[in-house]
Amino acid sequence: MSKSSAVANNLRAAVTPRAQHPVSRKSISRAAVKVLYGLKDAGFQAHLVGGGVRDLLLGLEPKDFDVATDAHPEQIKAVFPNCRLIGRRFRLAHVRFGREIIEVATFRASHAQGSDGETLDDGRIVRDNVFGTIEEDALRRDFTANALYYNIADFSIIDYAGGIADIENKTLRMIGDPATRYREDPVRCLRAARFAAKLGFSIHPDTERPIAETGSLLREIPPARMFEEVLKLFQSGHAVASFAELRRLDLLKYLFPASDADLKAGEPGFDRLIDCALRNTDKRIAEEKPVTPAFIYAVMLWPQVQRRAETYQQSGEPPVPSIFAAADEVIARQLLSTSLPKRFSIPMREIWGMQPRLITSKGQRAVRLLAHPRFRAAYDFLCLREQAGEDLGDHPQRWTQMQESAPANEGVSEKRSGSRRRRRPRHKRGGASGNKRD
């Protein structure tokens, strides 16, 4: 018997009956309840697990409802026709109900127990499809607050790791040896920062201590996965607190290396610029308004773009081409740490590229600029720069007044089409065919 199996067999579950906890099926999404009962009726164990249970105990509204079961992925798919199996490193089932997806995971055992688990020499888990019992699954979860199981069979909450007590004490505690768990998956360092920020928890000293040593392993994480962590940290309504926790734990350097260096060097106004942007992001999310990572990245990388653009201008380049040349360099370096899909990097470049134009454009050029599809974001960025203490003269106020005095339909056709009005093609004299463009 493996060490993890032996430990699991000695675990004693603390079971909290329905009458002694506040979690109700009425607070769980209807789709998740359907999945729970569907598995139960098919003869499988079915539990709501992780952050959904934790948030409900805290009186918060969960964003996701995840399910854990003893059914294997193919068995889950057999129960739900609307199911799709995903993942290689960690095989999961996604059960879709319209736009809502319920993620269903099979109980996991130690990745070292079978041929479907694989660990690198540095301890990182690269394949994790060894199935086990609920007790073994509890040991595999990261923090005690995330290792709670709501049992649909009797509506009780099962706690194998003291998670309920840690939630009551507002403490984030790693299950098992923290250094080992961080080496298994270095992203857990970022998760510790994110959960502490989101929940207002303090990280237990034993859980926090190894982060300084193991955080460097984040450099080996694929940039695409790091980008997903950026979204979770800064677009979940607690960006200000997440940023403060990242800086406290010295983890920002693995997400935005150059930005972290600028902050540590005391780049004038940069900390204020970030604070203003993140507070605005949290406010928009609280008001259920849309946010985009393009704006957050534009703020984080702005001092670097400014410095490189100034260098190009000193060599004789005009302001706007200088900005775009600088942007290409800065983005290329950032992509080594976190990916940034083009659907975000392109509008970010446009926000930057419009900054000189917002300073120099006057008359009809300024009127036409109002109709630019990226004008509002660029204007907001200009105002943010002023709010952070940058001297921009009267230009932010000038654009504010122009928007207030502009006719309601100013630039409507360009905003709708995103391009200039198409001209009728000209024809050559004496010929039937017109000029063609490839």
Element (H, E) at 92: strand 92-97
Distance in angstroms (rounded) separating the CA atoms of residues 4 and 109: 8
The CA distances from residue 197 to 52, 232, 250, in Å, are 17, 11, 14
Contact 271, 252 (CB under 8 A): no
Residue 290 has pLDDT above 50, yes or no: yes
Cα–Cα distance, 248 to 329 (Å, whole number):
29
For residues 9 and 364, the model is more confident at 364
In the block, tokens 């974001």 appear at 377
Amino acid, res. 82: N
Look at residue 7 and tell me whether its pLDDT is greater than 50: no
CB 239 within 8 A of CB 233: yes
- List strand residue ranges (DSSP E) for 191-296, in order: 202-203
Question: Cα 281 to chain center, whole Å?
Answer: 13
Q: Across residues 66-73, what is the average pLDDT?
A: 96
CB-CB contact of 289 with 281 (8 Å)? no
Dist CA 100 CA 151 (whole Å): 22
Q: Which two tokens stand for residue 118?
A: 């694989």
Joined together, the tokens standing for residue 233 give: 């940290």
Beta pairing class for 125-128 and 117-119: antiparallel
pLDDT score, position 410: 52
Please tell me which residue, 126 or 403, carries the higher pLDDT value.
403
Q: Do 108 and 132 form a contact (C-beta atoms < 8 A)?
A: yes
CB 183 within 8 A of CB 87: no
pLDDT band, residue 87 (cuts 50/70/90): confident
Q: Which residue has the higher pLDDT, 47 or 112?
A: 47
pLDDT in tens, 229-283: 999 999 999 999 999 999 999 999 999 999 999 999 999 999 999 999 999 999 9
CB contact at 8 A, 340 and 297: yes
Q: What is the pLDDT of residues 401-430, one digit of tens each?
A: 999 887 755 543 334 333 344 444 444 433
Query: Please, what is the average pLDDT of the chain?
Result: 88
Q: Residues 6 or more apart from 179 whose CB is under 8 A from it?
A: 210, 213, 214
The rounded distance, in Å, linking the Cα atoms of 366 and 334 is: 32
User: 70: pLDDT confidence band, cut at 50, 70 and 90?
Assistant: very high
Q: Is-contact 382 358, C-beta < 8 A?
A: yes
- At 31, the amino acid letter reads A
* Beta pairing class for 171-172 and 202-203: parallel
Active site residue 66: yes
Contact 293, 234 (CB under 8 A): yes
Least confident among 86-90, 143-147, 279-283, 317-321 = 86-90
- Give the span between the Cα atoms of 242 and 195, in whole angstroms: 9
- pLDDT tens, residue by residue, 136-179: 999 999 999 999 999 999 999 999 999 999 999 999 999 999 99
Which of the residues 55, 66, 70, 262 is marked catalytic?
Answer: 66
Check if the beta carbon of residue 76 is closer than 8 Å to that of residue 39: yes
Cα→Cα distances 22→54, 57, 150, Å? 11, 6, 11
Asked whether 221 and 172 are in contact (CB, 8 A), the reply is no
What confidence tier does 90 reach under pLDDT thresholds 50, 70, 90?
Answer: confident
pLDDT band of 118, cuts 50, 70, 90: very low
**Residue 225 has what DSSP assignment?**
H
Q: How many Cβ atoms from other residues are within 10 Å of residue 319's Cβ?
A: 16
Q: Is the pLDDT at 298 greater than 70, yes or no?
A: yes
Task: Pick the catalytic residue from 55, 137, 142, 260.
Answer: 142
The confidence band for 11, taking pLDDT boundaries of 50, 70 and 90, is low
64 is catalytic: yes
- Of 258, 266, 251, 14, nearest to 151 (Cα)? 14
Q: What's the residue count for the chain?
A: 438
Strand partners, 48: 67, 150
Tokens of 111: 């990745």
pLDDT of residue 111: 57
pLDDT at 109: 86
**What integer pLDDT is reported at residue 112 of this predicted model?**
53
Please tell me what DSSP assigns to residue 422: P
Find tokens 């604070």 and name the residue.
275
